[in-house]
Structure 1
């Protein structure tokens, strides 16, 4: 049984993510999907929270709206339950009150999913540098792989997958995760190293590391590539564009705090800027 968590906010990108998750069941039997919707709890402010005064009127209206929103979301989630009740997809819905990121994090801890599928609009400018999206935060902290979706994606048509890495680390868990993707998708895999001016090495060195990784973990049906670009992020996206890839896969070290602000994350940059689905897995 593979457990899939789909954080869902009723947006178009969330629908893309849900369609992707349900589509996985056509390629991989034994998938259980949890559709998680989180309603942000309003923060009470002003003297009206103590009762009396003019401030109590808008506060009361906010409470009424919040109650109505809960009931509306319950009804919408029930419609999703009904839609898949008699299908081959094993699906359940869950409603949580609180902050979005905290709710997702707690659900990950409680359910231990094998995969998270999230819709993403990406982030740019000041938002990307300082705040980041909830999707980006989940990519950075989740203990299981995360697939981010920005457009409608037909699982059955995913035939080219790029795994971008420097292949300096030979983690058995990472190798097993990549093999699971191979199990789910009958696709051609491209193992690629991006060569940049600031981190230059010969093609021979890069290819040798890829071959060592492939041989150690007994991969099959792999194409090894070295791609030259001005940065790792742009190189990964450009290579995926050049071969018309259906999915980009990569690992992230999930740095947080000051070190994240200073160094950033190639994986998060790709998640933000790639138009293609991106599979990420946090390694220690």
Structure 2
């Protein structure tokens, strides 16, 4: 049994993610899909009447719209349940009121899924710096692997998968999960290290590290590659473009707060800018 959580906002990208999740039945005999939708609670704020800072201000129009939206989502979820009622996988829905990221995070904590699959539109420029996306936050914080989907992607299309890493750290859990992906997807796996001007090393040094990783964890049928680029993020995306990969896999350290603002995250940048599905897993 594999338990999959699908955050769902009724957009086309969310439907792509759900379709990818349902197609897991092609490779798993037992699949349990939990689809969660979070209705953001409307709050209008203003200065307190006694000059004591911000306080919530009732907004009748917002409240009416909110109540109608909740009822609409309930009807849409009922239609989804009816659509998948006769499927060979278990299917359930969950409607949550409140903050989107918090609602998804709580669901991950409570349900302990094996995998989160969610749609991503990506962000760029000013929006990326100031806001980011809920998808990016989930990638940074989720305790299980996350696959982000931007377009219709059937499981059967997975023929080439790139695992990008610097291969400097041995991680039994990551190696185990990559091996599991190999068993699931009938695909070629490429292990790639990105060489940049700011962190240059010889091809021999990089290749020796990849070989050591492969030998330690007894990987088979792996193609090792060294790719030169101006940055790790662009190198990963460019390499995936060059070989026409179907998915990118990588780990993230899940940095938050000031450290995240200073250093950023290669995984989150790739999730934002790659047109391909991206598999991420947070390591310690």
* TM-score clears 0.5: yes
Q: Mind listing any 5+ residue stretches in structure 2 that lack a counterpart?
A: 48-57
What is the CA-CA distance between 1:10 and the residue it aligns to?
0.2
Q: So what's the TM-score if we normalise by structure 2?
A: 0.94
For 1:25, what is the secondary structure of its paired residue? helix
Instruction: Show CA shifts across 1:145-165 (max 9, x none).
Output: 111111111111111000000
What is the CA-CA distance between 1:2 and the residue it aligns to?
1.1
What is the CA-CA distance between 1:46 and the residue it aligns to?
6.6
Q: Distance in 1 between matches of 2:132 and 2:65?
A: 28
Partner of 1:54: none
Partner of 1:161: 161
For 2:113, what is the secondary structure of its paired residue? coil
Asked if the contact 1:27–1:156 (Cα under 8 Å) also holds between the matched residues in 2, the reply is no
What is the CA-CA distance between 1:181 and the residue it aligns to?
1.2
What is the CA-CA distance between 1:129 and the residue it aligns to?
1.7
What is the CA-CA distance between 1:30 and the residue it aligns to?
1.5
What are the within-5 Å matches in structure 2 for residues 195-210 of structure 1? 195-210=195-210
Matched, 1:220 2:248: no
Q: Distance in 1 between matches of 2:96 and 2:128?
A: 26
Q: Distance in 2 between matches of 1:69 and 1:158?
A: 37
Instruction: Show CA shifts across 1:119-154 (max 9, x none).
Output: 001111122123210000000011111111111111
Q: Distance in 2 between matches of 1:184 and 1:283?
A: 22
Partner of 1:253: 253
Partner of 2:33: 33
Q: Distance in 2 between matches of 1:86 and 1:69?
A: 27
Q: Distance in 2 between matches of 1:127 and 1:237?
A: 21
267-276 or 38-47: bigger deviation:
38-47
Cα 1:204–1:103 shift into 2, 3 Å: same
What is the CA-CA distance between 1:276 and the residue it aligns to?
0.3
Partner of 2:50: none
Q: Distance in 2 between matches of 1:37 and 1:144?
A: 19
Cα 1:45–1:231 shift into 2, 3 Å: closer
Partner of 2:118: 118
What is the CA-CA distance between 1:64 and the residue it aligns to?
2.1
Asked if the contact 1:246–1:276 (Cα under 8 Å) also holds between the matched residues in 2, the reply is yes
RMSD: 1.3
Q: Mind listing any 5+ residue stretches in structure 1 that lack a counterpart?
A: 48-57
Q: So what's the TM-score if we normalise by structure 1?
A: 0.94
Corresponding residue pairs, total? 274
Q: Distance in 1 between matches of 2:228 and 2:44?
A: 53
Partner of 2:191: 191
What is the CA-CA distance between 1:45 and the residue it aligns to?
4.6
What is the CA-CA distance between 1:60 and the residue it aligns to?
2.5
